Structure 1
Amino acid sequence: MKFLTDNLMDVLTFLVFPKEHHRKIHSTNVLERFNKEVKRRTKVIGAFPGDNSVLRLLVPLAVETNAKWLDRKYVSWDNLVQSGNAEEEFTENF
């Protein structure tokens, strides 16, 4: 309970953003999906001969994933411009 009370503001940071983004940024599901894909692809190879071989495999995956996220407009970055009173609104709610 002490940890939760000490870190409540960090846990609820997503509430500072516009309401239309809350559903998309309140969890790490998108990042976990990406990490699962990295694990799946690296498991097939097993052992890599060097750092460059890992990069040759993972950089295109990261670029491809980034392009998908940008195409889907996962979050409209134009709406994320924070107003000066965003923190005040956040603290008023909690």
Structure 2
Amino acid sequence: MTYDDKFRVDLEQLDAAIDTMDKFGQKVADWLAEIDRQIAELQLSWSSQAATAQREAHETWSAGVDEMRENLAELREVARIARANYSNAIDINQKMWP
């Protein structure tokens, strides 16, 4: 096993992963806004036990989506920090070992 085989970070792949997370987060936000709009519109003309159950289920679902979005934001931040740290380490190593 050579030194290069022990540890390697592909910054382009890391950038692509961060970009994918950003795009997914935006898509989720767009989908949620559309679903919320449709649910609100439906609730204007629907009143029954089923409507109440549907609204409660949607609120539970929305809370789960919010939690997922928060976790995705944390993961993106971890990836951004890792990317910056790896990039800085590369720069420092290149200056130390020209």
TM over 0.5: no
Determine which structure has more spread, i.e. the larger CA radius of gyration.
2
**TM-score, normalised by the number of residues in structure 2:** 0.39
**TM-score, normalised by the number of residues in structure 1:** 0.40
Q: Which has the larger share of helix?
A: 2
